[in-house]
Structure 1
Amino acid sequence: MNAYGVPVVPKETKFQSVCQQVKRKKEAGENRIRPGRKRVKARYPKVKEKEAGSKGQSILTQVLDKGRFLRLGESLSLNPGKTMELRCKGTNIGWAYPSYLDTFNDSRLSIKQQERYSQLILTSPSAADTGEYSCWVVLCDGEECTKDGESISSTYIYFTDKDELFVPSAIHFEIIYLRPDKPATVPCRVTNPKIKVSLHREVPAEEIAVDGTQISYDPTKGFIIQNPSPEHKGAYYCKANSTTKTTPQVSTKYQLLYVEVPSGPPFATIQASSDIVSGGDIFNVTCTVLGEPEMNVSFSWRYPGQGQRPVSIHDSWRLINRGVGHTTRISQSVIIVDDVETIDYGKYICTTKNKHGETLVATTVKSHE
């Protein structure tokens, strides 16, 4: 004790006592914090976000269950059958999804704009729903609205089905056009990115070598031929090997045709059955377009007796082979004039139009007298 009757503690003992006391408080504090941290991690699973390829700027999320969300990245694999709900942040949102859902006006798909987000719900999803789902912010200035390109978020979603290795198609025999100026794709997409796929030609029967350069495979697109040539034409199919079954699965068949005519406005010609006709004769004028096999062409006519004389107009198209291994679409419109009168003499103008532009061609029909 000191002079005032207070016990004196040695400095060394006092220092140790204080340290022990602080340490005990720190341990108690850590025990109180740790459980809270575990609960936060369980509520927002960072591992799942990483697996999904999450990007910080993505506005697209999947609703897992009440109060839990997964920010989506490049791809995601889901089991079929369970309702899928996606959300996109924003007060005015646009969506894109596999086109066949629109083609068949599928009632399983619904989109609703809420106050702060847009909601896409797909009930009973199947392997056929595998594809890219994306959303973006729509910017409007009065009645004019545009897509905000910087806000687009996209995710390729696989609905993995052990019985459907390939994404089902409504077409059982599909035609693929090969062009020398751009890559071609044999679209045998799979429902699971881990499935091994090979490309096969029917005649001669052989497996096509995939070198990753000239021919490569992308599970979201199919086999990509970088520089198509006539030697690639023929009938093909894809084969997928399941991890659970010994028997491989075969895809839709594909007929690869080599295209001669390049892209562009219609290449049109016009010809009359006779340039000189007499009163009472019958003649016709044919407008012909050679173009890409899948390119639709529309025709319209202007002629001397238009609106006053009855005429017959017939449109048609077919695929033809030109040279060795070249396929072209020939589209025609024929105008027929019966029992020629004076008003029928003059210029016949044919306007042809496709998505690349339009071409006008004309010919003149004269009187024999």
Structure 2
Amino acid sequence: MKPWLLLVLVLLWSQLENGLGQETRRRQEPGETRTRLSGKRVKGRLPKLKEKESAGRAGSLLTQVLDKGRFLRLGNSLIVQPGKDLELRCKGAKVGWAYPAYLDTYNDSRLSIKQQDKYSQLILTSPSASDTGEYSCWPVLCDGVECEKDPDRTSSTYIYFTDKDELFVPSTIHFEIVYLRPDQPAVVPCRVTNPQIEVSLHREVPPEEVPVDGTHISFNPTKGFLIPQPRPKHMGVFYCKAATKEALQISNKYQLLYVEVPSGPPFVTIKASSSSLKGGDNLNITCTVLGEPEVEVDFTWTFPGQGQRPVDIRESWRLISRGMGHTTRISQSVLTLEDMETIDFGRYICRAKNKYGETSVATHVDPL
């Protein structure tokens, strides 16, 4: 074979080998590219889906309707000017609402709630500083006729209606009693209409400003002054003072009373004017309960001539101080029976009931 022909054949074989290698690489690269892109898509998309789902579950359901159809998703708090109507919306086909209690107490016609197909609408017309407070909503889950609040999806926003003439949230109670208990925190409820207002706590007698160190006493604009561990030294008459660059204002007064009465069913005693009487005598039986100052007590009686003899039953209560300034509520029910007859002798039972339970006591009246 001629040398030049051999050289041509070698060159052709070399070119063919290079071409097949490039073709093989070209065939592999699309596959490799698809694998990398597929990996990127999985890694890039899944976190976004998770974030979106998480935001949908944990995000606020509450929005404020602004002018021209704009919406503001609400966070923990909101500061608005009074006077302009407030419209809130809450997502859900069936929604429950909570708002400052006095709006219900006085059946305020300024508040209206309407349920639409996909959201509920709360409108408060002509809001004022008094409307400052927490507004919240939640989906209502129904199974047939039974409905309940969805505990995992409640959205709340504390709304301040700022007013330069009302630094404190107005209250209908001008002298309020605050009970101090050693086993639970107490609050002096001088709430403000703007979280930026400077507030101080003052004792009336002796006149002094109470130091607020953040540990023994702290201030929360949505609640007032917090006393985590009340003690007898915290008793007295107090007031709050709010200051801005333009104004200085004094709050209502608060009487702080120390209570050391255990919570539970009523502790009851019963006492008759006499355990032995004769016909024609008068009878008085007193049923007495000592308990927590704000816990109401209901009395019922069972006695021999019940339904056949006229009796007079009168109830009353008052606060009393017992040792070291502790304050206790004394509740009494007095049964009076005039002109005793044979049918009136026997066992008299007094039942006292409070939110913790019921206690019964009895006494026996015999003829002489």
Smaller-chain TM-score bracket: 0.7 to 0.9
- Cα offsets for 1:168-227 (capped at 9, x unmatched): 011111111111111110000000001110000011111101110111100000001111
- Cα offsets for 1:220-257 (capped at 9, x unmatched): 00001111111111010000111333xx2110111111
Measure the CA separation in 1 of the matches of 2:330 and 2:341. Answer: 31
Per the alignment, residue 360 of structure 1 pairs with 360
Per the alignment, residue 21 of structure 1 pairs with none
1:57-96 to structure 2, matched below 5 A, reads 57-96=59-98
Per the alignment, residue 217 of structure 2 pairs with 215
- Cα offsets for 1:325-364 (capped at 9, x unmatched): 1111111001111111111111111111112222111111
Q: Does the alignment pair 1:108 with 2:107?
A: no
Given candidates 158, 171, 174, the residue that maps to 1:172 is 174
- Cα offsets for 1:140-181 (capped at 9, x unmatched): 233322111111111100001111110001111111111111
Alpha carbons 1:195, 1:243 under 8 Å: kept: no
Shift of 1:55: 9.3
Measure the CA separation in 1 of the matches of 2:246 and 2:140. Answer: 44
Amino acid at match of 1:351: R
Measure the CA separation in 2 of the matches of 1:72 and 1:55. Answer: 15
Measure the CA separation in 1 of the matches of 2:153 and 2:58. Answer: 12
1:1-369 to structure 2, matched below 5 A, reads 56-245=58-247, 248-368=248-368
Per the alignment, residue 5 of structure 2 pairs with none
Distance 1:218 1:55, change over 3 A: farther
Shift of 1:297: 1.0
Shift of 1:366: 1.5
2:97 match: secondary structure: strand
Alpha carbons 2:279, 2:340 under 8 Å: kept: yes
2:240 match: secondary structure: strand
TM-score (norm 2): 0.83
Measure the CA separation in 1 of the matches of 2:306 and 2:283. Answer: 16
Measure the CA separation in 2 of the matches of 1:100 and 1:221. Answer: 16
Moved more, 206-215 or 55-64: 55-64
Alpha carbons 2:58, 2:153 under 8 Å: kept: no
Amino acid at match of 1:120: L
Moved more, 225-234 or 64-73: 64-73
Gap runs ≥5 in structure 1: 1-53
Moved more, 73-82 or 265-274: 265-274
Alpha carbons 1:260, 1:327 under 8 Å: kept: yes
CA RMSD of aligned residues (A): 1.4
- Cα offsets for 1:270-294 (capped at 9, x unmatched): 1111111111111111110111111
Distance 1:351 1:78, change over 3 A: same
Percent of aligned positions that are identical: 72
Alpha carbons 2:57, 2:153 under 8 Å: kept: no
Measure the CA separation in 2 of the matches of 1:331 and 1:166. Answer: 35
Per the alignment, residue 38 of structure 1 pairs with none
Measure the CA separation in 2 of the matches of 1:307 and 1:140. Answer: 47
1:348 match: secondary structure: strand
Measure the CA separation in 1 of the matches of 2:300 and 2:362. Answer: 12
Amino acid at match of 2:160: Y
Alpha carbons 1:265, 1:354 under 8 Å: kept: yes
Measure the CA separation in 2 of the matches of 1:71 and 1:362. Answer: 62
Per the alignment, residue 50 of structure 1 pairs with none
Shift of 1:266: 1.3
Q: Larger C-alpha radius of gyration, 1 or 2?
A: 2
Q: Larger % of helix: which?
A: 2
Measure the CA separation in 1 of the matches of 2:134 and 2:201. Answer: 23
Distance 1:84 1:351, change over 3 A: same
Measure the CA separation in 2 of the matches of 1:263 and 1:86. Answer: 40
Measure the CA separation in 2 of the matches of 1:362 and 1:289. Answer: 14
2:158 match: secondary structure: strand
Amino acid at match of 2:331: S
1:304 match: secondary structure: coil
1:251 match: secondary structure: strand
Shift of 1:56: 4.9
Gap runs ≥5 in structure 2: 1-55
Measure the CA separation in 2 of the matches of 1:186 and 1:268. Answer: 32
